[in-house]
């Protein structure tokens, strides 16, 4: 085997969802190198039992709990910077804020149409942005909205429906709207830059950078087709260095049409690279330290392809899924990445040498296959 050849590791398969997984996201790194993975899940029919977001141990994929309460497909799910809450966006015209320790639904943010996107600022767990089919970007200040402790009684084991009913319902009119009248299509993604005053939205084929104090656009980019994914790729501060791609700043990775794009800087306005692929892309993520790109293919393909950042050469093909890969995310320590698919599974792929998580193979070994339940 050549010295620079990719080392093959068998992925961990996270079961639990029975319907497509449109979005996955890791939490920031907590003490003792602990982190979490949250996943969104769609429903294909009104009678489907799934559609509930799930929380997992980030290293092993082990199931921690299911947030029960939405009555429609959940398009997106994210964990707050301190991992104490989670935000979810649903086709039931709501976004919900959840207590990650109890599974309790704390708040229901009532909208007038499908909610597709949610986002927290990088260092503030008391603000959340939403967007969707209403074509409106809203900012909710949660500090005065959260109910008193004990407002709901729930757990992750299926008793969460009662808690959801007791959660405080907040009308969308309570939020601040940013860039009124700007969007002409559904908002599919929202990301909050390292500068807390700058938000980015992905809508149709267009990225827009918004300045919160003035509530206006400061930058706009029209891309090569409808945007399939738009996510920040960032390692935890203790794993970051100036020699990383982006020089230590988060890198915005975007998949649109048959192209992938990357921006960085404190406001993610500095374009680093754009690459034209020979196939339609559904998702993309970047390992800034390992200088590796993972691209999920769109319909009808089912593969995730891995490329070197520096020369664009393909170094691996992941063929484990049985549907398009809608979401790719790297862990905050960069030692693994996860893929979420139309087939209802999440797969975790090792991105380091030696023992890690449930991978038991040491250096020189491919590791043993394990299924995370």
pLDDT tens by residue, 75-90: 999 999 999 999 999 9
**So what's the pLDDT on residue 127?**
97
Structural contact between residues 264 and 252, judged by C-beta atoms closer than 8 angstroms: yes
Please identify every stretch of the chain with a pLDDT value under 50, giving residue numbers as ranges. Answer: 1-3, 5, 46-48, 149-155, 157-165, 362-373
Cα(32)–Cα(38) distance, integer angstroms: 19
Structural contact between residues 89 and 115, judged by C-beta atoms closer than 8 angstroms: yes
Per the structure, the count of domains in the chain is 1
Cα(141)–Cα(125) distance, integer angstroms: 10
Identify whether 6 is part of a domain: no
Identify whether 212 is part of a domain: yes
**So what's the pLDDT on residue 43?**
76
Counting beta carbons within 10 angstroms of the beta carbon of residue 33, is it exposed (0 to 12), middle (13 to 18) or buried (19 or more)? middle
**So what's the pLDDT on residue 161?**
38
**So what's the pLDDT on residue 145?**
74
Which CATH number belongs to the domain containing residue 295 in this structure?
A: 2.130.10.10
Identify whether 327 is part of a domain: yes
Cα(12)–Cα(35) distance, integer angstroms: 17
Q: Is the dihedral of CA 272, 277, 281, 287 positive or negative?
A: negative
Counting beta carbons within 10 angstroms of the beta carbon of residue 13, is it exposed (0 to 12), middle (13 to 18) or buried (19 or more)? middle
Cα(210)–Cα(123) distance, integer angstroms: 18
Residue range of the domain that includes 191: 12-372
Identify whether 5 is part of a domain: no
Cα(284)–Cα(327) distance, integer angstroms: 7
Residue 299's alpha-carbon distances to 79, 190, 281, 326, 341, in angstroms, are 28, 23, 9, 10, 11
**So what's the pLDDT on residue 50?**
65
Q: How far is C-alpha 144 from the chain's CA centre?
A: 26
Identify whether 256 is part of a domain: yes
């Amino acid at each position: 085997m050549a010295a620079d050849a990719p080392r093959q590791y068998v992925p961990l398969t996270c079961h639990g969802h029975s319907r497509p997984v449109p979005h996955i996201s890791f939490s920031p790194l907590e003490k003792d190198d602990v982190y979490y993975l949250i996943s969104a899940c769609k429903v294909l029919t009104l009678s489907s039992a799934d559609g509930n977001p799930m929380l997992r141990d980030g290293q092993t994929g082990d199931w921690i709990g299911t947030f029960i309460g939405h009555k429609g497909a959940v398009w997106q799910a994210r964990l707050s910077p301190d991992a104490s809450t989670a935000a979810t966006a649903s086709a039931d015209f709501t976004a919900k804020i959840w207590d990650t320790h109890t599974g309790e639904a704390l708040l229901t943010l009532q909208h007038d149409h499908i909610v597709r996107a949610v986002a927290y600022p990088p260092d503030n767990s008391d603000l959340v942005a939403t967007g969707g089919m209403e074509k409106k970007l809203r900012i909710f200040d949660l500090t005065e909205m959260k109910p008193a402790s004990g407002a709901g009684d729930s757990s992750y084991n299926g008793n969460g429906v009662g808690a959801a009913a007791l959660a405080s319902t907040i009308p969308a009119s309570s939020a601040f709207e940013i860039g009124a009248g700007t969007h002409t299509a559904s908002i599919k993604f929202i990301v909050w830059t390292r500068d807390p005053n700058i938000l980015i939205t992905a809508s149709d084929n267009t990225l827009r950078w918004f300045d919160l104090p003035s509530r206006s656009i400061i930058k706009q980019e029209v891309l090569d087709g409808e945007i399939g994914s738009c996510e920040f790729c960032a390692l935890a501060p203790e794993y970051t260095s100036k020699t990383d791609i982006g020089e230590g700043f988060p890198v915005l990775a975007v998949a649109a049409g048959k192209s992938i794009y990357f921006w960085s800087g404190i406001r993610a306005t500095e374009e680093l690279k754009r690459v034209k692929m020979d196939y339609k892309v559904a998702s993309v993520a970047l390992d800034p330290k390992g200088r590796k790109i993972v691209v999920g293919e769109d319909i009808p393909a089912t593969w995730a392809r891995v490329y070197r950042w520096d020369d664009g050469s393909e170094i691996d093909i992941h063929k484990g899924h049985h549907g398009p890969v809608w979401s790719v995310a790297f862990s905050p320590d960069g030692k693994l990445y996860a893929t979420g698919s139309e087939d209802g599974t999440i797969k975790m792929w090792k991105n380091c040498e030696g023992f890690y998580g449930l991978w038991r193979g040491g250096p020189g070994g491919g590791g043993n296959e394990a299924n995370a339940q």
